[in-house]
Structure 1
């Protein structure tokens, strides 16, 4: 059954990529025709515009949704105003598989009006980084999601139906209550438009790709914040070794591949620091967030200008922090394995402030 679900997801992804490409080309064609035939051609298009606010809930009805909308959803559409895109704070979290990101995900999505997009680029690749040939379409999807134009990418929501990713979006999931509205394009857009913060979690993007995209779209840099969320690569390696799907993937299984990605992202983050204002970038270590969640959260929110609300404070007060998890790998990895990882990741460990642990060994094999 697991294989059948995996094959079904692959088919959906394939159809999604084809449909996304075709619809993107169609939109580009019609926008070009409109620009050629309209007399007022100075009005900009793209991710900087949003649909106008509707005067009624009926404007968001979707024929693909059967039955009555949850009461909480209807109340939210009436009581929450649409937030202009110019007032929205966009947060990109770039990290790695098994780097402890769920802790940061829950923290950032704990506010009542945060729309959380969990791994939206899973539509383009199963577990690797986005290659150059798909980069244009990947950022095309990101731009549509930033502006809440989810109706423009319906196959993205079809792909979402095969996942539980909408459950990571606290603002959406508490309103849609697990029903069809959770993945309905128009209803997702309606909730998204009412969010004051929109968070994107990526493990499939290089920071250099974000830097290059912002260079091409300087207007978007005004609202984008970038968090480089890291964890000790030895801990990431240990965590990945327990996942069958990861051990069968050379890009995920090898410590050298992990540190190649982290090394590239360190350079990409440095480029973003030079490119963006100081209050738009932050590197955060998983170990620091676990050890001192309150101080690290206050520092992060203050630096990036995020709203430290009562919901965030309540989350920190009630969540149990996994204090033992960050150091479990130290007891589990052999000295030989530590030595090999530290040899290929030496500069990454040093740059990120992690202490070397392995003594020199003459013999030993990687576990």
Structure 2
């Protein structure tokens, strides 16, 4: 009996009793091995579980980082320097919260015919300063014939708004009802370097020192006050010149305001020179003179000394021009008494400038003024102030700024005022003149003797 040979069965046939099906696709054989499949599926579960765990961990980290970033952004302005940030990852990569820019605000405290138009040009021409000329004029026009003292509070409120570059306050005193003011309708606009320069106007550039031509500025397109506000916000120094704040104590709330960084430059001039200039420009100051005279203190009211020459001409406008100095000098005296008492709210925020010192030493005075308000006197500005005080213009227009021999102009009163007028002004302004270093004269001859200086060192 022959031995039969039995072919060996594959292992899978032993286990399952039949041959597994094979599937072919693209010359590739895949054998459905259940044991192998179970192993593969087991590994996939582990991989899926691990992937799920990683996704959950990443999501939790992102959520935690979002909450921290939101909280730190909200509270960043209140964070103090001594707070520890050791537990905050990658803190050095975070940008710091922007700091509020600290502007230097300046008010030029002065009065009519004190050389303030020229002094204001030192800031109007400075490329880094935003300058406004006599904005409170609008209040006096709208509320005429209100007396000067009754308007002081409204003037302070206007300044508070303007120093924050809020020019909507102008609309409150718009004399043209139903019409919105434009840049060209603000008082002094045709001489304002910002309004007449790019980008509000194409005729001039703010960074180029030089007077502007009002006839050319009239051709500038009128812009909205919002456009002027946008320009105001670009400057670190805002300067306002005004002649209608009579006493520095009116500005005390603004000087004490921690949100404002306000300094006051007190521009003064010999009252006798102001009297002469006021007489020359009396027709342009009739309304202002009346409003100031209405503020006289009735308890100490004085009347101008009769001058036979002017009485014969029956011209009482001269008396109004000089009579207004009684009120003006009274409040200058109050300002000086406050300064001499050294209140805490004025410490480091007050500077007195005499017009006579400016025209005698223009460059050194310019540097001293700029240093006080944190500006730099460029060579162009130095050349400008020298040119403006040593020119040869004989313009008869009292409100026009032009290059002239300022030293000679400062002493013109000594040859043109009568002795009666000199005595009257000295009587009105005795205390102020003594503190500011202006010497009284004893005769008309002494006044006309131009070789004799009438200046001494001021007490402030």
**TM-score, with length taken from structure 1:** 0.66
Q: Kindly provide the CA deviation profile for residues 150-202 of structure 1, in whole angstroms up to 9, marking residues without a partner as x.
A: 24654567286445512332133222334565552121012111112110001
Instruction: Give the CA deviation at 1:239.
Output: 0.8
Partner of 1:147: 164
Structure 1 unmatched ranges of 5 or more:
1-39, 44-82, 362-367
Say if 2:181 and 2:225, in contact at 8 Å, map to a contact too: no
Instruction: Give the CA deviation at 1:84.
Output: 8.1
- 1:303/1:273 CA distance change after superposition, 3 Å: farther
Partner of 1:59: none
- 1:151/1:339 CA distance change after superposition, 3 Å: closer
Instruction: Give the CA deviation at 1:355.
Output: 1.0
Deviates more, 1:112-121 or 1:316-325: 316-325
Q: Larger Cα Rg: Structure 1 or Structure 2?
A: 2
Partner of 1:22: none
Distance in 2 between the 1:182 and 1:295 partners? 38
Distance in 2 between the 1:269 and 1:185 partners? 36
- 1:170/1:273 CA distance change after superposition, 3 Å: farther
Partner of 1:316: 385
Partner of 1:354: 438
Partner of 1:68: none
Partner of 2:35: none
Distance in 2 between the 1:356 and 1:286 partners? 18
2:107 to 64, 88, 92: 92
2:250 to 202, 209, 223: 209
Partner of 2:234: 194
Say if 2:182 and 2:222, in contact at 8 Å, map to a contact too: no
1:123 aligns with 2:138: yes
Deviates more, 1:157-166 or 1:233-242: 157-166
Greater percentage in helix: 1
Higher RCO, Cα 8 Å, sep 6+: 1
SS in 2 for 1:189: helix
Instruction: Give the CA deviation at 1:135.
Output: 4.2
Partner of 2:326: 256
Partner of 1:8: none
Instruction: Give the CA deviation at 1:117.
Output: 1.0
Structure 2 unmatched ranges of 5 or more:
1-73, 78-97, 175-179, 202-216, 294-319, 391-405, 446-460
1:338 to 400, 422, 425: 422
Instruction: Give the CA deviation at 1:277.
Output: 3.4
Instruction: Give the CA deviation at 1:304.
Output: 3.3
1:230 aligns with 2:268: yes
Distance in 2 between the 1:85 and 1:325 partners? 45
Distance in 2 between the 1:120 and 1:85 partners? 27
Distance in 1 between the 2:186 and 2:232 partners? 19
- 1:99/1:149 CA distance change after superposition, 3 Å: same
Say if 2:183 and 2:228, in contact at 8 Å, map to a contact too: no
Q: Kindly provide the CA deviation profile for residues 86-111 of structure 1, in whole angstroms up to 9, marking residues without a partner as x.
A: 33211100101111111211112221
Distance in 2 between the 1:284 and 1:172 partners? 27
- 1:135/1:240 CA distance change after superposition, 3 Å: closer
SS in 1 for 2:376: coil
Instruction: Give the CA deviation at 1:208.
Output: 1.0
**TM-score, with length taken from structure 2:** 0.54
SS in 1 for 2:252: helix
Instruction: Give the CA deviation at 1:281.
Output: 1.5
Say if 2:112 and 2:243, in contact at 8 Å, map to a contact too: yes
Instruction: Give the CA deviation at 1:246.
Output: 3.0
1:170 to 193, 196, 219: 193
- 1:120/1:269 CA distance change after superposition, 3 Å: farther
Say if 1:115 and 1:172, in contact at 8 Å, map to a contact too: no
Instruction: Give the CA deviation at 1:119.
Output: 0.8
